[in-house]
Amino acid sequence: MQLLLLGVNHRTAPVEVRETLFFGPEEARALLRQLRGDGLDQAMVLSTCNRTELYAFTSDPPAAEDRLRALVSRIKGADLLSPSPHRYTQGEGEAARHLFRVAAGLDSMVLGEMQILGQVKDAHALAREEGTGGVLLDRLLGSAVHAGKRARTETAISAGVVSVASAAVALAMKVFGDLSRGRVLVVGAGETGGLAARHFAEKQPSALWIVNRTRARADALAGEVQGASFPLSEIGDLLPQADVVVCATGAPGHLITGGAVRRAMGQRPHRPLVLVDLGVPRNVDPEGARQENVFLYSIDTLRAVADQNLARRQREVPRVEAIVEEECDRFLAWFRGLEATPVLRELRDHFERLRAEEVGKSLRQFAPHEQEQVDRLTRSLVNRLLHLPTTRLKALDLGSEAGLSRLHALRDLFALGGEPGEGKRMDGGT
């Protein structure tokens, strides 16, 4: 059996292509069921906003690739995995190494992200639920997840926040410690404001308010993050009640003036107020930060925090790559060792058959107790003769051409599995 990978990701394909190839849970289930019916009994679908990858163990990679493309076409209505610059195919060692790097966070859009490890686990669980798990896939995924966990516990590849929005959350939590009782006001429902709202929503504040010049966009974002929307005209009323205010608009001039902050703090004595200004030009008057208990963070401050953490993560990449190589080599040694197992069995069966034939011709001339001694003696002799070949066969590097050549030569020399000259690569014992 060989491992095949077919897919696209954020490095090879634009978002428009990735969107068309995204498989939700039910579509992934449908694909796995059809794969199982098509003879690809060990397969997995890993589909996120940044990648869709199909992994399958097969004895015929070209035929398996054709089947995968046909099934995707049937579900999506187009041959989205036909040869193109967007898609990639990898076999065996490179496919396994790619999955290990994905699990370790090395192939993510955000280096070292935590979410992908859970997504890999979920993809494996779905494959097992739909009957496309198995010994090979389970071992591959178990090893990949182990590599991902080691990367995050033995290195700082996931330490710190590396986006402006997540940095805003981290700095707010330094002030309040816990946002579960806090009220967050996000001014601006565009891309930056939306990202900030989603990050703060993960901390489950007691209230999350969205204000935007266009009310419909505020309503849509509020619905997504389970918050409440308000018109821009109510920002003055909301400011004294908020604990964290995030401004992310392109409006000219200051939406939150120094006077507005002063009036708000007059209504909330001894309660801190965190102002996060992501606007360009600036949305918050710097004069507001002169008030006691007011903490103002500019986009430059947040970028500095994010860049510092990203640089720290990048310094950890060589250590994570070493973990990936170690765990991948361990898996491939096990996987390629499967190829030697049936050869060892055939070799021992071959010698045992010859021993039994020769002993059977001679045992009649011995007494019963002597027959038992002859049988025991010849078995011991065969075991001793096969000890060194067995040891060396187990030590072969079946990932190299030299190792495979020696394995094939052994099969050919003893006519294992066929007539002399019919040596062939094993299929993993199945």
Structural domain total, the chain? 3
425 assigned to some structural domain: no
99 & 136 share domain: yes
98 assigned to some structural domain: yes
Instruction: Determine how many CB atoms are found less than 10 A away from the CB of residue 148.
Output: 30
Q: What does the pLDDT look like over 4-26, one tens digit per residue?
A: 999 999 999 999 999 999 999 99
Cα–Cα distance list, 340 to 228, 232, 283, 337 (Å): 63, 71, 68, 5
Run means of pLDDT, 10 residues per run, the chain, 430 residues: 94 94 95 88 94 95 94 93 95 94 96 94 97 94 97 96 92 93 96 94 97 95 97 94 96 92 92 94 93 94 94 97 96 80 74 81 77 83 82 66 71 64 37
At 280 the pLDDT is 85
Domain end point (choices 120, 154, 188): 154
The CATH number assigned to the domain holding 265 equals: 3.40.50.720
Q: Which residues are catalytic?
A: 49
313 assigned to some structural domain: no
299 assigned to some structural domain: no
Q: Which two tokens stand for residue 116?
A: 């992908």
119 assigned to some structural domain: yes
Instruction: Find the domain containing 193 and state its range.
Output: 164-292
At 422 the pLDDT is 39
Q: What does the pLDDT look like over 387-427, one tens digit per residue?
A: 887 777 766 665 566 766 777 777 777 777 643 333 333 33
308 assigned to some structural domain: no
CA Rg value for the chain? 31
142 & 185 share domain: no
Q: HSE (CB half, 13 Å, CA atoms) of 99?
A: 38
At 5 the pLDDT is 97
22 & 132 share domain: yes
Instruction: Determine how many CB atoms are found less than 10 A away from the CB of residue 154.
Output: 13
At 140 the pLDDT is 97
